[in-house]
A and B are shown apart, each in its own frame.
With several copies, the nearest count.
Chain A
Amino acid sequence: MSQAEADDSVAWAAAQEANTRNNRRARLARVGLPFLLFVLLIAGWHFLVVINEIPAYILPGPGTVLTTLIKDWPILSQSMINTLAITGLALVVATLGGVGLAILFSQSRLVEYSLFPYAVVLQVTPVVAVFPLINIYVENTVAKLLICAWIIAFFPILSNTTLGLNSADRNLHNLFALYGASRWQTLRHLQLPAAMPYFLGGLRIAGGLSLVGAVVAEFVAGTAGFGSGLAFRIIEAGYRLNIPRMFAAIILISVAGIMIYLVLSLVSHLILRKWHESALDREK
């Protein structure tokens, strides 16, 4: 190693260290502040309940909910697993369906104009209203749940991916045309990578919606033969006025939603950090 290179290493190491220090502080803030806010909110909730003497059957305090969560953990955790299973499947199906349709639509404006309305119809049709039809023609409970959840979750992926596929740079399109790229090659090497940021944005929306879809599907379709999920717990607990348990279930749904969002954000960051503005550090 030459002197110059050694110097560089030192400078680099120093910079690294400064960075690490900054990063550590930033990371501390990143974890610390949200945590502080969280604690404040919980405390606020607690005192709201205590000061206004709100009874547990209207709005249980955080302590009550936590106790219930621990006490009912065996039941609730099993329900959460069931709900998460449907959510995961729904997200996979929504992704495949959404991206598949988007690719189809991107092949020609005509296809897009012809089919997009039906995608919109699927998006806006109230699941509750069409469920009886699904129920008549579909036997399998899991399939029923999946269809419901899919109807709810696929649209953001479809819409965002379509937008992304249409947003690839015109000059790059020209370049591909010049090199005689096939449709498939243009899609694979140009449009799909260019659509990534949009697709991942849609995925983050769809992650939450899959969960919503799994819950709504369960509300609507029941879970006979599959094992009851969190929606069932909520209905049942609400009916029994076991409101602390209802809140415990709602909180589990929230936690699941946040976890899904974080995982998808991480995936998104890892995919985009090399090149897309939205994933680059803001520092210089």
Chain B
Amino acid sequence: QEQVSFGTNWLPQAEHGGYYQAVADGTYEDCGLEVTILPGGPQVNNRALLLAGKIQFHMGGNLIQAFSAIEQDIPLKVVAAHFQKEPQVLMTHPDQGLDTWESLKDIKLLMGDNGFQSYYQWMIAAYGFSADQREPYTFNPAPFVANPRVGQQGYVTSEPYAIEQVGGFVPNIFLLADYGFDTYATTVEVMTETIEENPEAVQCFVDGSAIGWTNYLYGDPSAGDELILAANPEMTPEQLAFSREKMREYGIVDSGDSLELGIGAMTEERYNSFYEKMVDAGVVPDGLDVDSSYTLEFVNKGVGLDLRKSLTGE
């Protein structure tokens, strides 16, 4: 058994369900990997550990950082994308006349640093939002709940639930993917060195994750949920159920290409079109060798398609 670590970008939650499920089911072990999942957090930077070779796999948020890595000559590649759609949303209070995308320009938006550095730059360039609108979000939604005239970032799978529970209202939701931010999300990033020296491990991780996600979404998620709940005592089964439900509803993990190619699917067209879009928006510089930011070597092999069929009967 080879020991590897996978660093996530947040505390354990349903959005990481597939990986936990694969660990719980022994899916990774079947192909020879013993995977340790290293949770992230608001100030935790697990990518640094990837760069330093302390962990082998890292969960990327969206593709912009993958482009940055190319720009900085960092030998890092995306080997799989587990979210076909970016689940990032902006939320507003209902009944405030803030029901349109355009109306978001009139208010302050609570947003974390990552969001500000990635999709908000695109919103500025593509839609004319302004940097002054941004207020820092410290992952405490109280200011949003308190002030009906501000917007806030969130994951479609998480924040709306919390807001509903505590604030007592169902927020308006604007899914960025619907407005053209069609990046892959929740990618798996690996150093080139690992790909060259140990392609079997990478393949095992990518395949295992695809199966894990299939099981988590369409099978019995309780084994994965149990691990998540153990690693994050604050997580509730209700929240997990809500998130899982939303992931299915919006086709976050499994939609479009992945229906044919298997979970984790990526295509060159999608990469190029997103890159063009970001170049047009001025978020990333022109002339990068986008092809070197990813490899299709490990995905698009239809792994897990049979399993899904057997689980869903479709």
Q: Do A and B bind each other?
A: yes
Which B37-81 residues sit within 8 Å CB-CB of chain A? 38-39, 41-45, 47-49, 51-52, 54, 65, 68-69, 71-74
Binds B, one of A16-24, A173-181, A216-224: A216-224
Given contacts A136-B147, A241-B145, contact A224 B38 (CB under 8 A): yes
Contact indicator B162/A239 (Cβ below 8 Å): yes
CA distance A150 to B228 in the complex (A): 32
Interface residues on A, range: 20 to 34
Chain A neighbourhood of B44, CB < 8 A:
220-222
- Mark contacts of A235-275 with chain B using CB atoms, 8 A cut-off: 1 yes-contact digit, 0 otherwise: 11111111100100000000000000000000000000000
- Return A229 CB to nearest CB of chain B, in Å: 13
Chain B neighbourhood of A239, CB < 8 A:
11, 65, 68, 113-114, 117-118, 139-141, 162, 234
B interface residues, tally (CB under 8 Å) = 48
Contact indicator B135/A224 (Cβ below 8 Å): yes
Contact indicator A240/B162 (Cβ below 8 Å): yes
Contact indicator A220/B138 (Cβ below 8 Å): yes
Which of A57, A75, A224, A236 has a CB less than 8 Å from the CB of B142?
Answer: A57
Contact indicator B72/A221 (Cβ below 8 Å): no
Is A58 an interface position by the 8 A CB rule? yes
Chain A neighbourhood of B131, CB < 8 A:
224
Given contacts A131-B45, A222-B136, A224-B38, contact A241 B162 (CB under 8 A): yes
Is A166 an interface position by the 8 A CB rule? no
Contact indicator B72/A224 (Cβ below 8 Å): no
Contact indicator A136/B142 (Cβ below 8 Å): yes
Chain A neighbourhood of B198, CB < 8 A:
none
Is A128 an interface position by the 8 A CB rule? yes
CA distance A75 to B232 in the complex (A): 13
- Return A218 CB to nearest CB of chain B, in Å: 9
Is A132 an interface position by the 8 A CB rule? yes
CA distance A131 to B52 in the complex (A): 13
Chain B neighbourhood of A224, CB < 8 A:
38-39, 131-135
Which of B41, B52, B72 has a CB less than 8 Å from the CB of A242?
Answer: B72
Which A33-82 residues sit within 8 Å CB-CB of chain B? 55, 57-58, 75
Contact indicator A235/B142 (Cβ below 8 Å): no
Is A117 an interface position by the 8 A CB rule? no
Which of A75, A131, A241, A246 has a CB less than 8 Å from the CB of B68?
Answer: A241
Is A186 an interface position by the 8 A CB rule? no
Contact indicator B65/A241 (Cβ below 8 Å): yes
Contact indicator B72/A220 (Cβ below 8 Å): no
CA distance A224 to B131 in the complex (A): 7
Which B139-155 residues sit within 8 Å CB-CB of chain A? 139-143, 145-147
Chain A neighbourhood of B165, CB < 8 A:
241
- Return A122 CB to nearest CB of chain B, in Å: 19
Contact indicator A128/B138 (Cβ below 8 Å): yes
Chain B neighbourhood of A219, CB < 8 A:
42-43
Given contacts A136-B54, A236-B234, A240-B68, contact A222 B39 (CB under 8 A): yes
- Return A74 CB to nearest CB of chain B, in Å: 11
Q: Which residue of B lies closest to A132 (CB)?
A: B48
Contact indicator B42/A235 (Cβ below 8 Å): yes
Contact indicator B146/A128 (Cβ below 8 Å): no
Chain A neighbourhood of B71, CB < 8 A:
240-241
- Mark contacts of B98-110 with chain A using CB atoms, 8 A cut-off: 1 yes-contact digit, 0 otherwise: 0000000000000
Is B32 an interface position by the 8 A CB rule? no
- Return A126 CB to nearest CB of chain B, in Å: 11
Given contacts A135-B48, A219-B43, A224-B131, contact A238 B145 (CB under 8 A): no
CA distance A224 to B65 in the complex (A): 23
Contact indicator A58/B41 (Cβ below 8 Å): no
CA distance A238 to B117 in the complex (A): 10
Chain A neighbourhood of B41, CB < 8 A:
222, 235
Chain B neighbourhood of A221, CB < 8 A:
44, 136
Given contacts A132-B143, A239-B114, A240-B117, contact A222 B135 (CB under 8 A): yes
Can you give 15 contacting A-B residue pairs, CB < 8 Å?
A57-B72, A131-B43, A132-B49, A133-B48, A136-B49, A220-B138, A222-B44, A224-B134, A224-B135, A236-B117, A239-B11, A239-B141, A240-B68, A240-B234, A241-B141
Binding site for A on B (CB under 8 A): 11, 38-39, 41-45, 47-49, 51-52, 54, 65, 68-69, 71-74, 113-114, 117-118, 131-136, 138-143, 145-147, 162-163, 165-167, 232-234
Closest CB pairs A-B (n = 5): A238-B140, A132-B48, A222-B136, A241-B166, A136-B52
Binding site for B on A (CB under 8 A): 55, 57-58, 75, 128, 131-133, 135-136, 219-222, 224-225, 228, 235-243, 246
Known: A224-B132, A241-B142. 17 other contacts (CB 8 A): A57-B72, A57-B142, A57-B145, A131-B45, A132-B49, A135-B49, A136-B146, A136-B147, A224-B39, A224-B134, A235-B113, A236-B117, A236-B234, A239-B11, A240-B117, A243-B140, A243-B142
